[in-house]
Structure 1
Amino acid sequence: MNMAYHENVPVVRPITDADIPTSVDTLARAFADYPFTRHVIAAEGHEERVRHFQEICLTRIGMVYGRVWVADEGRAVAVWATPDKDPSPAFAEVGPVLGELTGDRQAAYESAEQAVAPCRPQEPAWFLNTVAVSPEAQGKGLGSAVLIPGIEEAGHAGYPAFLETSSERNVRFYERLGFRVTAAVTLPDGGPRTWCMRKDPR
């Protein structure tokens, strides 16, 4: 598929198998030094653990039970969970692997989940699992471009879009896309401040 930019508007499309290696690389690099993953994934072999964690979220959960869009052949990628399919079978299958990847941070991961869970939508919603733009592709509008299809599809279906971020800079970025902060949680065990944000359907 021709990935040319049309009047500098990025081409965004659903992910294909050919995009997986670049997309995993984009996600791995974006989250190698992210406050939340630093808190919940073991320091030993951290970057490789983060890569494997993101690969599972992308290929075993997002691509099977959710929706994934890419731009620039995977140099920007957004992974959504949707209410249309129940990902429980995938979590049951990959849960032990995710547990191994957290390593000695397993308790921190579980306490973080417990702290944020009450702030998540109780009704069906689109949940932004993960999004990233590779460093060399930043500043071209790819981050917002790759998110818009999911935000729009959630809205058309009458569902809120929901996300969590542990970066204050990201909060302002998401606010420009119409999200509002619904909770700010300081994670237990010395964890980072994490913002819950949602965008309701019009």
Structure 2
Amino acid sequence: MAPDVVLDPASSADAAAIRTVLAHAYRTNPLMVWALPDTATREDACAAWLGPSVDRYLAVGRVLVARHHERVVGVAAWRLPAAGPAPDSLPTPSGVLAALLGRARAEEILAALSSAASLAPAQPADYLNYLAVEPELQGRSIGTRLVEAGIADSDSAALGTYLGTTDPRNLPFYRRLGYVDAGATTLAPGGPVLTVLHRGQDPAGSANHMTVSP
């Protein structure tokens, strides 16, 4: 447990700190290793790629941060089905990825991720897109507290939740929180396997209008 860690809603002032936590926590994530193979630049590239999504979730999603002595050390970012349109601003996640890797490689990665769309719930549900905790503080129940707080918000709105992960080490963690495997897809030959999990939804359902994103 981490009694010296407090959770509260994020604001736009937290954007840079959130990008940094994501970059540190996702350094060895199989999706990032596959998409961003250069270890020397992976953290910077990850922060750049995910940064626009962070900005959009801060504007129209639900973002909760964990603070340790006022420093942001963890984050959970949710896409909400009833959220309004994202701000029309640059850069975009796809645009950043194309700038980093070239348009052809970026389109290949995004197409692979979109192949999991059929595994999304049939009914509207809150999507946990990002969960990250600074590596030195992992294993102290911070991630559990972040997810449980988000689940409570979803439960209060009578909505299920879902997520996708390419890290098999995460599967027992999410299953302990009540998530059930809905299916999996291999993103590319020799690439990572993306597993989609649902909570409070029929795992057999699908909704092609919903997308699973990194």
TM range (shorter): 0.7 to 0.9
TM alignment of 1:112-127, pairs within 5 A: 112-127=112-127
CA-to-aligned-CA distance 1:70-115 (integer Å, 9 cap, x gap): 1123201111100121446559961423432443631431331232
**Alignment RMSD (CA, Å):** 2.5
Q: How much has 1:48 moved relative to structure 2?
A: 1.6
Between the aligned partners of 2:121 and 2:135, the Cα distance in structure 1 is 32
Structure 2 counterpart of 1:40, one-letter code: A
Change (3 A) 1:110 1:135: closer
TM-score (norm. length: structure 1): 0.84
Report the more deviating stretch, 42-51 or 173-182. Answer: 42-51
Gap runs ≥5 in structure 2: 202-214
Change (3 A) 1:92 1:54: closer
Change (3 A) 1:124 1:99: farther
Change (3 A) 1:62 1:150: same
Three-state SS of the structure 1 residue aligned to 2:132 is strand
**Structure 1 equivalent of residue 190 of structure 2:** 190
Gap runs ≥5 in structure 1: 1-5
Three-state SS of the structure 1 residue aligned to 2:46 is helix
Change (3 A) 1:135 1:45: closer
Identical-pair percentage: 29
Residues 64 and 76 in structure 2, CA contact (< 8 A), matched pair in contact too: yes
The answer to whether residue 95 in structure 2 is matched with residue 99 in structure 1 is no
Structure 2 counterpart of 1:52, one-letter code: A
**Structure 2 equivalent of residue 81 of structure 1:** 79
**Structure 1 equivalent of residue 53 of structure 2:** 57
Between the aligned partners of 2:188 and 2:16, the Cα distance in structure 1 is 34
**Structure 2 equivalent of residue 150 of structure 1:** 150
The answer to whether residue 179 in structure 2 is matched with residue 171 in structure 1 is no
Report the more deviating stretch, 7-16 or 73-82. Answer: 7-16
Q: Of residues 59, 62, 67 in structure 2, which corresponds to 1:67?
A: 62
Q: How much has 1:133 moved relative to structure 2?
A: 0.3
**Structure 2 equivalent of residue 3 of structure 1:** none
Q: How much has 1:7 moved relative to structure 2?
A: 8.6
Structure 1 counterpart of 2:81, one-letter code: P
TM-score (norm. length: structure 2): 0.80
Between the aligned partners of 2:2 and 2:52, the Cα distance in structure 1 is 35
Change (3 A) 1:106 1:29: same
Report the more deviating stretch, 107-116 or 149-158. Answer: 107-116
Between the aligned partners of 1:159 and 1:91, the Cα distance in structure 2 is 29
